[in-house]
Amino acid sequence: MSGPDAETPSAIQICRIMRPDDANVAGNVHGGTILKMIEEAGVIISTRHCNSQNGERCVAVLARVERTDFLSPMCIGEVAHVSAEITYTSKHSVEVQVNVMSENILTGTKKLTNKATLWYVPLSLKNVDKVLEVPPVVYSRQEQEEEGRRRYEAQKLERMQTKWRNGDITQPILNPEPNTVSYSQSSLIHLVGPSDCTLHGFVHGGVTMKLMDEVAGIVAARHCKTNIVTASVDAINFHDKIRKARDRGREEAL
Ligand code: COA
């Protein structure tokens, strides 16, 4: 997939060195850390694009991430290069393509670790329930718009078809037998703080994905009883916002 024009402001690149607290005991950077960096790049470029005209100010929220594969490991000490570009705009959504490369700064070797596609929706800063219109992106080739529209229509169809699956929750069983689903079933509790949240006071999609990756990793490690890594993540839809604890308390008090 190639975006409208890499020279336009619809492309950004950020880089960060990987530290021990980004990684597991074997030194592999967590899938969740990479997903969080991907989402950070996505929210910057989509929010910037959605505010590029003199309309109502907004923040773009993550609505969906397409399936992504973790193609090669990233290790402590390597530099993550995260590049993002807008590849399609519908009336109310922005498609962002994010590529992640790992660079060994001692040898100069670079490897592609991820390619991810994310969809953002702009919400008014004054009214978080108001979805705003997206300024259309300028394509350098007409086929890019047609290919983008096909991806947009395909994900809309997939969302309608999978809606019924979203209520599935497995209930925990007490004293489960080893190697059963219940045996490795796990949960995490996280108190949402200001650094987890957007300007609207909602938890960043990247923070949510990091938590999802952490708990999934615990389940996989409990089952396999060894070190594990994230190999791929299926498509994720963000149906509702997670609010900061203080905001929720204030709302309940009203
Ligand atoms: N994936 C991709 N696009 C989506 C989507 C999804 N899961 N859900 C909605 N959209 C798009 C629609 O296609 C539509 O664009 P279009 O008119 O160009 O087709 C646009 O969003 C608005 O759809 P609408 O049905 O009016 O909005 P909604 O009531 O479904 O709200 C969200 C959409 C994303 C605002 C809402 O689901 C939400 O708040 N989700 C949580 C977001 C969040 O907290 N993310 C993490 C924090 S950044």
At 184-238, the pLDDT tens digits run 999 999 999 999 998 889 999 999 999 999 999 999 999 999 999 999 999 999 9
Q: pLDDT confidence of 9, banded at 50, 70, 90? A: low
The average confidence (pLDDT) of the chain is: 91
User: What tokens does 190 get?
Assistant: 């996280």
At 143-179, the pLDDT tens digits run 999 999 999 999 999 999 887 666 667 777 788 888 8
Q: Is it the case that residue 253 has pLDDT exceeding 50?
A: no
Q: Is it the case that residue 17 has pLDDT exceeding 60?
A: yes
Q: What is the phi/psi pair of residue 18, to 5°? A: -85, 130
CATH code, residues 11-142+179-235 = 3.10.129.10
Which of 61, 54, 59, 203 has its CA nearest to residue 126? 59
What pLDDT shows up at residue 23? 96
Q: Is it the case that residue 243 has pLDDT exceeding 90?
A: no
Query: Which atom in ligand 1 lies closest to the alpha carbon of residue 61?
Result: 48
What pLDDT shows up at residue 242? 93
What pLDDT shows up at residue 7? 44
At 30-62, the pLDDT tens digits run 999 999 999 999 999 999 999 999 889 999 999
184 near 226, Cβ under 8 Å?
A: no
Q: Is it the case that residue 131 has pLDDT exceeding 70?
A: yes
Read off the pLDDT of each residue in 130-137 and give the average, rounded to a whole number: 97
What pLDDT shows up at residue 167? 65
Which of 225, 181, 188 has its CA nearest to residue 209? 188
Q: pLDDT confidence of 5, banded at 50, 70, 90? A: very low
- Please report, for the chain, the start and end positions of each structural domain, with discontinuous segments joined by +: 11-142+179-235
Q: What is the 3-state secondary structure (H, E, C) of 7-69?
A: CCCCEEEEEEECCHHHECCCCEECHHHHHHHHHHHHHHHHHHHHCCCCCCCEEEEEEEECCEE
pTM as predicted? 0.92
**How many whole angstroms from 67 Cα to the centroid of ligand 1?**
18
Mutation to probe ligand 1, out of 93, 150, 198, 209 (largest number of atoms < 8 A from CB): 93
d(CA 47, CA 122): 7
Could you tell me which residues come within 8 angstroms of residue 29 by beta carbon, excluding any fewer than 6 positions away?
A: 18, 22, 23, 73, 74, 75, 76, 78, 80
What pLDDT shows up at residue 172? 76
**How many whole angstroms from 126 Cα to the centroid of ligand 1?**
17
Question: Is 24 assigned a catalytic role?
Answer: yes
Read off the pLDDT of each residue in 108-136 and give the average, rounded to a whole number: 96
**How many whole angstroms from 147 Cα to the centroid of ligand 1?**
21
